[in-house]
Amino acid sequence: MREPITIGEVAELIGAEIVGDSSVTFTSIGSLGSACEGDLTHLSSNSYRRFLSETKAAAVILHRRELDCCSVTALVVENPKQAFAKATQLFVREKELPRNFVHASAIVDDSVQIGADFYIGPNVVVGKDCVLERNVALNANVVLGERVFLGKDVVIMPNVTVYDDVEIAARTVIHSNSVIGSDGFGFEPTDGEISEAVAQIGGVKIGEDVSIGAGTCIDCGTIEDTLVGNGVKIDNQVQIGHNCKIGDNSIICGQVGIVGSTVVGRNCILAGGVGIGGGAPIELCDGVVVSAKATITRSINTPGIYSGVAPYMEHKKWMRNSVRYKELDALFKRVRRLEEK
């Protein structure tokens, strides 16, 4: 059983001021409404404020303006949501893996270069000329093709396949059943009934501190590499087509599909189920936020929030049109009455 975490450790990590009992310790985290004794929680939304005065948590991370309603010890910060996210890392129960270990069932080519403190689990396959820097962990059934580069502290969870000529930079985590570097969907119609396959000879380059969710596919480039920038966070079941370029620190939520050769700028957010596709290559400038289920068929050159299933439009216009859509039936009846006069 792990040692309790002190409030001082949390305060130092998140830069908080302690208001109340400085001897508090934590054994877990919880939501404001259901937290128990020994839990750390937070308040970052008005909809949860009603729980603040009665919470049973050991302490609450909150903004100073909420102090008067807080009945327990508080950790005061400017951005409670961000601070809580950081604090949760203290409670992660990481699986202890043996180091400098290759499971007896693993197959590692003699040409592979491996740094210190590695873990290579059951049934792992590592192909020719791969390079694994220090502290890399390959969990059960991972397959690396040839000429794969893994930076330090990369973690690949079970059943991931990484094809040839993929580079994955430091501290990136790839979750189960993802496929990195498979062929892009490139077929050229011919005069007959069979389409001619376009050879996919590029690779994939993934930056530092990237997180890739379970069941995600990132295709290799047709000629040039598919690129995923530093700090990008990709949810489960995302499809990123060949030649795409994803800018630093962008967030891609579940079930997003991105057609090949799309360029997504830095600090963009694609909410769940967004589809990007069109006849010409599409570019999203830095700072674009696309709401859930929206369909993007043309480039976006102005930062902002965009919504709508089909077609997309600037968010404010979409909101106005959504309201008007509800009034269509009444407007139709009104016009008919006017026409009958």
- In the prediction, which pLDDT does 228 show? 98
Query: Directed axis angle between helix 7-14 and helix 80-88, to 10°?
Result: 120
Domain ranges in the chain?
A: 5-91, 101-318
Amino acid type, 75: L
Rounded distance between C-alpha atoms, residue 169 and residue 211, angstroms: 11
Q: In the CATH hierarchy, which fold is given to the domain comprising 5-91?
A: 3.40.1390
Q: Are 180 and 163 in contact (CB under 8 A)?
A: yes
Per-residue DSSP letter, 191: S
242 is catalytic: yes
Residue 326 CB: number of other CB atoms within 10 A? 8
Per-residue DSSP letter, 300: B
Catalytic residue among 63, 103, 175, 242: 242
Give the model confidence (pLDDT) of 269-299 as tens digits: 999 999 999 777 999 999 999 999 999 989 9
Give the model confidence (pLDDT) of 103-152 as tens digits: 999 999 999 999 999 999 999 999 999 999 999 999 999 999 999 999 99
Q: pTM, whole model, 2 decimals? A: 0.83
Give the model confidence (pLDDT) of 33-67 as tens digits: 999 999 999 999 999 999 999 999 999 999 999 99
Q: In the CATH hierarchy, which fold is given to the domain comprising 101-318?
A: UDP N-Acetylglucosamine Acyltransferase; domain 1 (2.160.10)
Those residues whose C-beta lies under 8 Å from the C-beta of residue 316, and which sit 6 or more positions away, are: none
Picking from 40, 51, 49, the residue whose alpha carbon sits closest to that of residue 18 is 40
Those residues whose C-beta lies under 8 Å from the C-beta of residue 324, and which sit 6 or more positions away, are: none
Output the six-digit token pair for 134.
């220090």
Residue 256 has pLDDT above 90, yes or no: yes
Residue 187 has pLDDT above 90, yes or no: no
3-state secondary structure of 326: helix
Of 246 and 188, more confident: 246
Output the six-digit token pair for 145.
């093709």
3-state secondary structure of 143: strand
Give the model confidence (pLDDT) of 236-245 as tens digits: 999 999 999 9
Bond into 281 cis (ω within 30): no
